[in-house]
Amino acid sequence: MNSKFTVFVAATLAVISIIFALFSPANLTLFGAPTIPGSRDDLHLAEIIQVTGAVGPESLAFDPNGEGPYTGVADGRILKWQGNTRGWTDFAFTASPRKECDRPFAPEMEHLCGRPLGLRFEKKTGNLYIADAYFGLQVVGPAGGLASKMVAEVEGQPLASPTTWMLMSMEMQFISLIQAKVSREGIEATSYGYNGNLLVRKGLKSFVVILVCRQFILSLCSGDRTGRLLKYDKSSKAVTVLLKGLAFANGVALSNDRSFVLVAETTTCRILRLWLKGPNAGNFDTFAELPGFPDNVRRNSRGEFWVALHAKKGLLANWIVSYSWFGNTLLKLPLSFKQLHTLLIGGKAHATAIKLSEEGKILEVLEDSEGKTLRSISEVEEKDGKLWIGSVLMPFVGVYNLN
């Protein structure tokens, strides 16, 4: 990089810093996210179900009887939705004792209270698998209660660790983000902070784990590619690396015929496909290029996939994720997490959900472009003509009627 270009970059970043100092980030439109052709701006019509006394219902799961959904919240509990009359009731928790675990959001207590983010039921047994940000992969029976530890570390490293807390606001609020999913074929779990995705394939008694050990903003801005796709055999407890060098590995989902598994790369805004069967077994390719940063990937009953976008990718965000030197320089500016996050998402946070075909084609795009009702979504679960929408940051669940 020559000296003139270095000066230009420094001056540009200085201007960005000054703009943030003078104006409210929420009012900035210079680096706003572009519109998506064919998008329907209808998600603001979603019904909101408040998670009273709690925040961060990141992942949603229905039990084998169709009851729920269940969701993990920031105070360490797993809650069950029992309709408008009874509301949310306590179902399970990942840590004991529960002393001082009665506040909706207390990051300083998470290492004691747990932070269950990802959930999935096993259809055959009714067991609920939980990925906890501090206690790894756990399981609890159909009756709920205290979950037991299943997997806490991979290759000698913990699935989650307090050292991977992420700065989420100017008020020094730390959140470790982790998700887990168990489909009818088995278990899937993801985390980021110390990032891990787990998937159990029926009959093979194995699951896939994605690991990325970088903070959220740092991972995006620095061009980090430490993500790995691992297979863990439940019988032998052996771990093998299937993919490595992934950029912010995140959501994972198995295809309807179990011939491939999808892996979301948040930084590159794409979904990768690893073939498990057929002539391409062991190879991977790009399943879909997306207009924003994907979080969880969930398969519906027809074999299609819903992807929750944390945010669309604007002009500046494209520079940041395309040129690591630019992102690393930006990290050196005196900007708060909130300001950096605003730059990445292109202004005001809002919701975007994309449905993909089994071949990776975009079938439908739903948005709440003004963030009137939904924003910062992390998972979209389709059930009985409705989309149930979770968020690791918000104190509510959204329900959107597809009919």
Residue reference for tokens 């983010």: 117
Tell me how far apart the alpha carbons of residues 121 and 186 are, in angstroms, rounded to a whole number. 8
- Tally of CB atoms within 10 A around 16: 19
pLDDT in tens, 291-327: 988 988 999 999 999 999 988 887 777 777 777 777 7
Q: CA-based angle 253:254:259, to the nearest 5?
A: 150
Give Dmax over CA atoms of the chain in angstroms: 67
Cis omega (within 30 of 0) for bond into 97: yes
* Token pair in block for residue 228: 């790995």
* Pairwise CA distance, residues 249 & 241, whole Å: 14
Q: What is the pLDDT of residue 78?
A: 96
> Hey, how many other C-beta atoms are within 10 angstroms of the C-beta on 30?
13
Q: Is 132 helix (H, G, I), strand (E, B) or coil?
A: strand
Closest CA to 150 of 140, 139, 161: 139
Q: What is the pLDDT of residue 106?
A: 76
Per-residue pLDDT, 204: 33
How many CA atoms does the CB half-sphere of 314 hold within 13 Å?
17
* pLDDT at position 286: 97
Identify the H or E element spanning 217: helix 216-222
Between the alpha carbon of residue 3 and those of residues 7, 10, 324, the distances in Å are 6, 10, 18
Separation CA 94–CA 159 (nearest Å):
15
Which of the following CATH numbers is that of domain 3-401: 3.60.21.10, 3.40.50.1860, 2.40.50.100, 2.120.10.30?
A: 2.120.10.30
**Distance of alpha carbon 4 from alpha carbon 349, whole angstroms:** 35
Tell me the three state secondary structure of residue 339: helix
Helix (H, G, I), strand (E, B) or coil at 189: strand
What parts of the chain have a pLDDT lower than 70? 1-33, 151-217, 228-241, 336-338, 346-347
Give the pLDDT confidence score for residue 28 in this predicted structure.
Answer: 46
pLDDT at position 165, please?
26
Of 148, 144, 149, nearest to 79 by C-alpha is 144
- pTM exceeds 0.85, yes or no: no
pLDDT value of residue 12: 61
